[in-house]
A and B are shown apart, each in its own frame.
Chain A
Amino acid sequence: EPEVTQTPSHQVTQMGQEVILRCVPISNHLYFYWYRQILGQKVEFLVSFYNNEISEKSEIFDDQFSVERPDGSNFTLKIRSTKLEDSAMYFCAHSGDTYEQYFGPGTRLTVT
């Protein structure tokens, strides 16, 4: 399965700052997802995105979070005002014609 790239690999930010995490999926995939994994915990769904619209979001995905596909290729997750508890690995995932989802290498976000 072709790879998805994510940038940056590691982001350190201060509490209250905005961060933008980027994902570059394969252009012919239609479905995109963001998940997060707090250290030592399970992977949790944040949001799914189809045809340039949010199709589903979890209760974690509150007003502080937003997703965009600004230029038709990059897929971004923005956290407007980071909190300490936002520290986690953030994974972008994609799927095509099948239900199988493939994950990018992740961005480790550290909020201090």
Chain B
Amino acid sequence: RKEVEQDPGPFNVPEGATVAFNCTYSNSASQSFFWYRQDCRKEPKLLMSVYSSGNEDGRFTAQLNRASQYISLLIRDSKLSDSATYLCVVMDSSYKLIFGSGTRLLVRP
């Protein structure tokens, strides 16, 4: 089983749509969880940390279910500029980040 697993997509949605990405991780001892976004040939940029209580930042909502080892990201009212690859990232007990392969999002006009 992959350490961090994501649906590669692409998700092709119209502007204004709501889109949800899911991710599962295999190591129950994982410490911290993040969503990063990556534009083509650019560095990963931290979108948000994910907390057990769930957290929201504007149009973005992240959820964590430790029992199911499942992380989600919801994007509401999607914009053209949201088009990117969304990386689910897990931090292990030695503070290194383990990346999923990413989910590609295309937002069309």
Contacts and interface: CB of A to CB of B under 8 A. Distances in A.
A44 interface: yes
Given A43-B87, A99-B31, A100-B34, A56 B43 contact: no
Contact of B95 (A31, A91, A106): A31
Contacts of B95: 31, 48, 55-56, 95, 99
A48 B95 CA distance: 9
Given A89-B41, A91-B43, A42 B101 contact: yes
Contacts of B101: 41-42
B44 interface: yes
B97 A45 contact: yes
A42 B32 contact: no
B98 A45 contact: yes
B101 to A, nearest CB: 5
A65 interface: no
B99 A42 contact: yes
Contacts of A101: 46, 97
Interface of A: 1, 31, 33, 35, 41-45, 48, 55-56, 58, 89, 91, 93, 95, 99-106, 108
